Amino acid sequence: MTTVKQAVPAAFGAEELKAIARARRHHQLVIFLRLALAVVVLASWEGSVYLGWIDPFFFSQPTAIYEQLLVWITEGTSQGPLWRELLVTMEETVFGFLIGSALGIIFGIALGRNKLASDVLSIYIKVANAIPRVVLGSIFIIMFGLGMGSKIALAVVMVFFVVFGNAFQGVREADKNLIANAYILGASKRQVTFSVVFPSALTWILASLHVSFGFALVGAVVGEFLGARHGIGLLIATAQGTFNAAGVFAAMIVLAVVALVAEYLLTAVENKLLKWRPVQFVEQGM
């Protein structure tokens, strides 16, 4: 019996180590394939321009985009240093993301917990969500001018509906048995909301934040594109106006890097807040 009891933990540990090793190999393979795909796409793009299959006037080429980025970093843009343009866009994005997320969470939970209010306001929320964002961007520029206010307002609208929808659905999907048991134990409606419903909806809310930051960035850039004094969106508009395809792609790369960094930070926050989730290993052949 002693041999059996000692063999079970040892076998479990061996299987766990194998799962970790498989996960590590899978991660390394993913990184390699990502880099390989990027190299193939860039090489094919550059080669197509060299062979005359693609007109660089319309589609530019990787080397020209790299040179444009280098000029922006070392000499600055036509509006000023690249870091200042990026800082303006990031301020608009972050403020819009935070305000829109907060409003979306608050209204999503409030309406999710109040059926009468959700039934009354649902039609107005649907109508507001159906309005094209570009139209709202023009309205915000008229209302708030060319400063940061109009871009933040557009970013807030872009973020709000994404977070609101997930928060509302997360509240509605909360375990009814847990809620009933909490009431039986004497919990108030407020205690149930913050101790049972909100933790249940947290996974839904955090999932929406990954998408909503990208929407906040889009809102800020679109607002700058419509009218601004500084920002990456203005760089894109200027490059478009001068038929500088390399400048457009270079600005897109800057935005992509920002989005990737934000995704990494949001994932770290999510893992911190959801420590209770079990660690998932990659199982091959399943």
Secondary structure of the chain as H, E, C letters: CHHHHHHHHHHHHHHHHHHHHHHHHHHHHHHHHHHHHHHHHHHHHHHHHHCCCCCHHHHCCHHHHHHHHHHHHHHCCCCCCHHHHHHHHHHHHHHHHHHHHHHHHHHHHHHHHCHHHHHHHHHHHHHHHHCCHHHHHHHHHHHHCCCHHHHHHHHHHHHHHHHHHHHHHHHHCCCHHHHHHHHHCCCCHHHHHHHHHHHHHHHHHHHHHHHHHHHHHHHHHHHHHHCCCCCHHHHHHHHHHCCCHHHHHHHHHHHHHHHHHHHHHHHHHHHHHCCCCCCCCCCCCC
Place of tokens 């390989």: 36
If pLDDT is split at 50, 70 and 90, which confidence band does 88 have? Answer: very high
* Residues contacting 96, CB < 8 A, separation 6+: 151, 152, 153, 154, 155, 156, 158, 159, 216, 219, 220
> What pLDDT score does 97 carry?
95
> What pLDDT score does 275 carry?
66
* Residues contacting 108, CB < 8 A, separation 6+: 163, 164, 165, 166, 167, 168, 170, 171, 201, 205
> What pLDDT score does 221 carry?
92
Start-to-end CA span in the chain (Å): 33
> What pLDDT score does 167 carry?
92
pLDDT at residue 283 greater than cutoff 70: no
pLDDT at residue 243 greater than cutoff 50: yes
- The 10s digit of each residue's pLDDT in 98-150 is 999 999 999 999 998 888 888 888 888 888 888 888 888 888 988 988 888 89
> What pLDDT score does 7 carry?
46
If pLDDT is split at 50, 70 and 90, which confidence band does 268 have? Answer: confident
If pLDDT is split at 50, 70 and 90, which confidence band does 39 have? Answer: very high
If pLDDT is split at 50, 70 and 90, which confidence band does 284 have? Answer: very low
**Residue that wins the pLDDT comparison between 186 and 89:** 89
> What pLDDT score does 70 carry?
93
pLDDT at residue 280 greater than cutoff 80: no
If pLDDT is split at 50, 70 and 90, which confidence band does 252 have? Answer: very high
Cα 109–chain centre separation: 21
Cβ neighbours of 50 (radius 10 Å): 12
Q: What's the mean pLDDT when you consider all of the chain?
A: 85
Cβ neighbours of 199 (radius 10 Å): 14
pLDDT at residue 12 greater than cutoff 70: no
> What pLDDT score does 102 carry?
95
pLDDT at residue 44 greater than cutoff 90: yes
pLDDT at residue 78 greater than cutoff 70: yes
Of 87-101, 158-172, 184-198, 263-277, the least confident: 263-277
- How far apart are alpha carbons 25 and 31 in whole angstroms? 10
pLDDT at residue 267 greater than cutoff 60: yes
Pick left, alpha or beta for residue 65 (phi over 0 → left; psi -120 to 50 → alpha; otherwise beta).
alpha
- How far apart are alpha carbons 171 and 160 in whole angstroms? 16
pLDDT at residue 236 greater than cutoff 80: yes
Q: What is the mean pLDDT of residues 218-225?
A: 91
Q: What is the mean pLDDT of residues 181-200?
A: 83
